Amino acid sequence: MDGKKTIIAVYVENQAGVLTRVTGMFTRRGFNIDALTVGETESKEYSRITIYMDGDASEQMINQLYKLVVVKKVEILQEDSIKRELMMIKVRNDSKNRSEIMTAVDVFRANVIDYSVESMCIEVTGAPSKIDAFVKLMEPFGILEMCRTGIVALDRGTKTLLAE
Amino acid sequence: MQLKGAQILVRTLIEQGITDVFGYPGGQVINIYDALYEYKDEIHHVLTAHEQGAAHAADGYSRATGKVGVCIATSGPGATNLVTGIATAMLDSIPMVAITGNVPNALIGKDSFQEIDITGVTLPITKHNYFVKRVEDLADTLRNAFRIAKSGRPGPVLVDIPKDVQVATCEYEPQAVIEKEPLPKVRESYIDEAVKLIAECKRPYIYVGGGAAGLGMGDEILAFAEKIGAVIGCSFMGLSAIPEGNERFLGMQGMHGHYASSMAQNEADLILAIGVRFSDRATGNVAKFAKKSKIIQLDPDCAEINKNVRVDLGLVGDVEDSFKRIVEKCDKTDRTDWLYRVRELKGEELRFEEEIAAADTSALTPKQVFEIINENKPAKTVIATDVGQHQMWTAQYVKFDGPRRFVSSGGLGTMGFGLGAAMGAYVATKDPVVLITGDGSFGMNLNELATAVTYKLPVVIVLMNNGVLGMVRQWQTLFFGKRYSNTVLDRKTDFVKLAEAFGAKGYLVETPMEFKRAFTDALQSDGPTVIDTRIDKDEFVLPMLPPGGAIDDIITKVR
């Protein structure tokens, strides 16, 4: 893998069972994806699924998505699209590493959102590469628990997917 | 007007032009059946012996007419019994609406008696499905189901209706029949590109599939082949699309296709594919498929372009429209060399066939059976089949009486499909219906004989009885060193008595003369008939391209 990542945005009807239809199709057709997020959009009728995957999206995947009755619009985002992910990471907190962690939090413009004598929880937002870098930085201190939201992304400029 | 959900369901079916439904009652559809009783003068319900038979009947009804077939089943086992029938329709793109009852909303998710999440079960085998939570949504959901089933590339849609929705009341206003959504027209530049590719080629092959079979374009395709000097072959699902008797039509290609048709496809330098999906049974090893050829593909489904085979030009949209526009823009060209070459291939095919026939010394050969069927079947006969050797012989030998006169499970290959589908085809058309089946397939759903007797459905059942599961046995002979594991049936079924026990007429035949007499007699019957047609267990379907093989691996003789 050349490290290329692709982001696909999918507008789907906002109704029960939609995520099952989309993920079921991926399993059935043998498409591999890295991460998937789903959430509300500017329109009440639609939810937006953001799919993050290694390599290029196949023509087949896009076409199979379009065949699902609940799918309204599919778009491969531009490489320079704005990408964000949120992570909460709980690390071991002791007198030896406290200042190093705080420096990292500062540099990464992260926030400490919970603090106890033995641990602290940090919130980091950014592109996935930034989150990856932060995780790496925290590893030596002892990661107790972490979770990531998966990526959300929008194309730059005034262009919108539904308007097209 | 205020109506109950069950009444709204039946009224919406009537509103959508449905005149026949197939089904089986049960606890969670009693209300629907009560409404069917109320409207029985407007909608005819056929009670089958098993829900699977109802699903296949709705499918056969649709295949024979193009109309949407409708079946009804209760929750739980009723619904799961539809599954094979729905999957069969899905794989062959047959428009169908399956209606199931379910336990009341309040009992959903509690593993209630006969509760099953049928929308979950059928997710991968329906074009779309619905669970109707509120009676207010019922009529529009059904209309959407019909719209989805018949628009674009057709397919089955399931609508699951919990019992409380069937009982609840709301306002119902009849609406017009939902029309198919128009397919997009292909851009002119694509048509021009196709015309250019056709103009440049020397050996064009028009490859017709199920997507073209229902459109009734046979005469136009033949005329186009004459115009540009092309030959025509078809996939299994494309059978009956092209009128028989023209030398340019070479018949089915693929695993058990005609030698000349497969060879010509392999030698072609341009394939114009109309409504085909390049299934593995049609292509063999895709890496070696049609290597000398450019491919133009016409299909309503964008996901069929470059799915199995890379094509040079995909025209996604209204197939009929694209085809007509290509025809108009193409110049008349002779390409007689190509026709001569195809005639040579035809000659080789004939030689193979003669060798096979000469080596066959049985009292009654499959070829003889089909010759008698071809000579004696009345005009407009619908030929239905089950799955196995008899199905492939049907594909090879039968001269079909026009489009939608061939009803067979191609994609899913469903043994047990035939009898239900044949009944559905008869209910839909009232034309003569002949079912070709085998002793294996027939054994799977022969209970539907009861239905055919009750409703006086005169299906002539040609039961090609060889006492073995012939197709698997053929593979065992060719690829498994004759280790006949579980393919020798060794059953003691007396099919004549069995037919009589159901109230049908039975015949036992062992020679061509006996078969002809029984067949012509059976065609006069006003109810179903079973012709126990004894053939040898070592008859083979030839030629054969081994699975995953290429044209060079073709097997033309066994003995």
Is-catalytic flag, B519?
no
- Cis-peptide, bond into residue B543, ω within 30° of zero: yes
Set of chain B residues whose Cβ sits within 8 Å of the Cβ of A74: none
A17–B119 C-beta distance less than 8 A: yes
A59–B306 C-beta distance less than 8 A: yes
pLDDT over threshold 80, residue A3: no
For residue A37, what are the β-bridge partners?
A: A50
Report all structural domains of chain A as residue ranges with CATH numbers, in order of start: 5-76 (3.30.70.260), 82-152 (3.30.70.1150)
**Helix A18-29 with A59-67: angle, nearest 10 deg:** 140
Residue A23 distance to chain B (closest CA, Å): 11
Percent of chain A with pLDDT over 90: 77
Set of chain B residues whose Cβ sits within 8 Å of the Cβ of A17: 119, 131
Residue of chain A whose Cα is closest to the Cα of B153 = A67
C-alpha distances in angstroms, B254 versus A14, B426, B436? 44, 30, 21
Find the DSSP H helices in A12-125.
18-29, 59-67, 98-107
Specify the 3-state DSSP secondary structure of B514. helix
Specify the 3-state DSSP secondary structure of B92. coil
B301–A17 C-beta distance less than 8 A: no
pLDDT confidence band for A38 (50 / 70 / 90) = very high
pLDDT over threshold 60, residue B559: no
| Lowest pLDDT segment from A40-44, B250-254, B419-423 | A40-44
Q: How far apart are CA B90 and CA B409, in angstroms?
A: 10
> Which DSSP state fits B257?
S
Please report the pLDDT score of residue A2 as a whole number.
Answer: 53
Most confident of A96-100, B335-339, B354-358: B335-339
pLDDT over threshold 80, residue B206: yes
C-alpha angle B484-B488-B492 in degrees, rounded to nearest 5: 165
B302–A63 C-beta distance less than 8 A: yes
Is-catalytic flag, B163?
yes
pLDDT over threshold 80, residue A30: yes
Please report the pLDDT score of residue A160 as a whole number.
Answer: 87
From A17, A24, A60, residue closest to B307, measured CB to CB:
A60
pLDDT confidence band for B150 (50 / 70 / 90) = very high
pLDDT over threshold 90, residue B113: yes
CA A134 to chain centre: 15
Please report the pLDDT score of residue A164 as a whole number.
Answer: 62
Q: What is the mean pLDDT of chain A?
A: 92
Residue A62 distance to chain B (closest CA, Å): 8
Single-letter amino acid code for the residue at B232: I
Q: Which residues contact B501 (CB under 8 A, 6 or more apart)?
A: none
pLDDT confidence band for B403 (50 / 70 / 90) = very high
Residue B245 distance to chain A (closest CA, Å): 38
Question: CA nearest B154: which of B236, B275, B71?
Answer: B275
Q: Which residues contact B198 (CB under 8 A, 6 or more apart)?
A: B204, B228, B270, B272, B296, B326, B330
Q: Which residues contact B287 (CB under 8 A, 6 or more apart)?
A: none
Q: What is the mean pLDDT of residues A97-117?
A: 95
Please report the pLDDT score of residue B558 as a whole number.
Answer: 74
Q: What is the mean pLDDT of chain B?
A: 96
CA B314 to chain centre: 25
Question: CA nearest B541: which of B378, B365, B373?
Answer: B365
Please report the pLDDT score of residue A32 as a whole number.
Answer: 87
Whether residue A27 lies within 8 A of chain B, CB to CB, comes out as no
Tokens 């065992």 identify what position? Answer: B476
- Which among B471, B476, B502, B515 is annotated as catalytic? B471
A67–B306 C-beta distance less than 8 A: no
CB distance B82 to B69 below 8 Å? no
How far from each other are the two terminal CA atoms of chain A, in whole angstroms? 32
Is-catalytic flag, B220?
no
Higher pLDDT, A18 or A54: A18
Residue B301 distance to chain A (closest CA, Å): 8
How many Å is the Cα radius of gyration of chain A?
19
pLDDT over threshold 90, residue B270: yes
Reported as type and span, the H/E element at residue B367 is: helix B366-376
Residue of chain A whose Cα is closest to the Cα of B307 = A60
Whether residue A67 lies within 8 A of chain B, CB to CB, comes out as yes
| Lowest pLDDT segment from A80-84, B257-261, B524-528, B546-550 | B546-550
B306–A24 C-beta distance less than 8 A: no
- Which among B15, B16, B28, B51 is annotated as catalytic? B51
Set of chain B residues whose Cβ sits within 8 Å of the Cβ of A29: none
Is-catalytic flag, B114?
yes
From B124, B303, B306, residue closest to A67, measured CB to CB:
B303
φ, ψ dihedrals at B330, nearest 5°: -85, 140
> Which DSSP state fits B44?
E
Please report the pLDDT score of residue B407 as a whole number.
Answer: 98
Report all structural domains of chain B as residue ranges with CATH numbers, in order of start: 2-171 (3.40.50.970), 188-345 (3.40.50.1220), 361-538 (3.40.50.970)
Residue B66 distance to chain A (closest CA, Å): 21
User: Which tokens in the block code for residue B345?
Assistant: 């291939």
Please report the pLDDT score of residue A1 as a whole number.
Answer: 39
Q: What is the mean pLDDT of residues A23-45?
A: 91
Is-catalytic flag, B127?
no
φ, ψ dihedrals at B422, nearest 5°: -65, -40
pLDDT digits over A42-79, tens only? 999 999 999 998 888 889 999 999 999 999 999 999 98
For residue B391, what are the β-bridge partners?
A: none
Please report the pLDDT score of residue A58 as a whole number.
Answer: 85
Inter-chain Cβ pairs, chain A and chain B, closer than 8 A: 25
